[in-house]
């Protein structure tokens, strides 16, 4: 039997019994109804073997309490590998951002200093030859050679200065951008791996009553199949049917009182839904007068404090609060 089939059969039987008895078959001025529960089916989006069923049918759980866990060894391995991949990608980005190693930068600095010294010497040599050239001691050819040496040394200084600046800059911008993209991709992969790991455990979304458990420990659970069925107190409501003649007396937000056989007190609820469509009483009622009557389905929310004492499918009498 599929999950929820028991609840559907229970509600259908209660509805048939209520309508069979008629809408005014209870105490004077009361409508007959039944308690309805909106169940929460807790499932994992990933499949796996059920390794820990932490609750049992009939338990009460608090919000955030562990319900069940599936085998997640492969997800743990994937998360660890993703962490390593992210660390490697981050290291490569950091290396590109740092530029060359300190010893390589020191070598370029030394070459620059030597080039500056050569330039200084070439400049001094050119100055002496220019002085001697005016006295016809140095030929024009020697003067040109000194000037060319000075220019060559100046170019070498400029080259080493540019090399030093480049070494300190680090990697190229496009290489750095690619490395940053790789880090982002590995971070996303790690997030996905952690999400998959976390989804193998499911926790109670709210305080609730454990209505049923659908698997035993050790069984294989397919992805998306519910394992635990919860009934939070705020999901309990009373459903009753009112004839068309009484519909004008009932409004959304109106209070109603619920009673049942053996109840020590009346329980309160608030009308939150009135069906927009009418319906005939079912054909199991053969009386012509009853068969012709139209009824409207009405739902009222039960306060969580009272919900603990009520059960889905329980027949009740409903009166409008004065």
pLDDT digits (tens, 9 = 90+) for 162-172: 777 777 765 56
Identify the three-state secondary structure at position 74: helix
pLDDT digits (tens, 9 = 90+) for 15-31: 444 444 444 444 557 88
Question: b/e per residue, 55-94, with b = 16+ CB within 10 A?
Answer: beeebebeeeeebbbbbbeebeebbeebeebbeebbebbe
Q: Look up the pTM and report it.
A: 0.66
Is 282 a residue whose pLDDT tops 60? no
The C-alpha atoms of residue 177 and residue 181 are separated, in whole angstroms, by 6
pLDDT digits (tens, 9 = 90+) for 140-168: 777 778 888 888 888 888 887 877 777 77
Query: What is the pLDDT, as a whole number, of residue 193?
Result: 95
| Cβ-based neighbour number of residue 150 at 10 Å | 20
CATH classification code of 5-71+206-320 = 2.40.50.100
Query: What is the pLDDT, as a whole number, of residue 232?
Result: 93
pLDDT level of residue 262 (50, 70, 90 thresholds): confident
Q: What are phi and psi of 103, to 5 degrees?
A: -70, -35
Mean local confidence (pLDDT), 232-240: 92
Contact criterion met (CB below 8 Å) for 279 and 293: no
């Amino acid at each position: 039997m599929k999950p929820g089939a028991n609840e559907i059969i229970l509600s259908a039987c209660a509805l048939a019994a209520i309508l069979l008895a008629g809408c005014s078959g209870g105490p004077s001025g009361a409508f007959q109804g039944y308690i309805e529960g909106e169940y929460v089916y807790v499932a994992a989006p990933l499949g796996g073997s059920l390794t820990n069923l932490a609750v049992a049918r009939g338990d009460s759980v608090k919000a955030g309490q562990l319900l069940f866990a599936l085998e997640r060894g492969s997800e743990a391995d994937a998360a660890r590998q993703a962490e390593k991949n992210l660390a490697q990608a981050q290291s490569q980005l950091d290396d590109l951002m740092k530029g060359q190693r300190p010893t390589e930068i020191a070598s370029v600095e030394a070459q620059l200093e030597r080039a500056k010294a050569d330039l200084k010497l070439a400049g001094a040599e050119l100055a002496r030859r220019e002085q001697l050239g005016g006295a016809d001691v140095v030929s024009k050819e020697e003067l040109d050679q000194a000037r060319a040496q000075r220019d060559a040394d100046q170019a070498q200084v400029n080259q080493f200065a540019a090399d030093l600046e480049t070494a300190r800059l680090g990697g190229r911008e496009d290489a750095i951008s690619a490395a940053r993209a790789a880090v982002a991709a590995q971070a996303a992969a790690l997030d996905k791996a952690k999400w998959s790991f976390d989804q193998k455990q499911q926790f109670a979304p709210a305080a609730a009553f454990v209505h049923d458990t659908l698997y035993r420990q050790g069984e294989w659970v397919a992805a998306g199949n519910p394992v635990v069925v919860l009934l939070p107190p705020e999901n309990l409501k009373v459903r009753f049917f009112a004839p068309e003649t009484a519909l004008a007396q009932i409004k959304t937000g109106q209070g109603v009182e619920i009673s049942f056989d053996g109840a020590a007190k009346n329980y309160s609820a608030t009308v939150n839904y009135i069906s927009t469509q009418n319906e005939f009483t079912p054909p199991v009622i053969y009386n012509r007068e009853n068969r012709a009557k139209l009824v409207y389905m009405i739902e009222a929310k039960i306060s969580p404090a009272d919900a603990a004492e009520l059960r889905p499918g329980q027949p009740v009498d409903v009166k409008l609060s004065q």
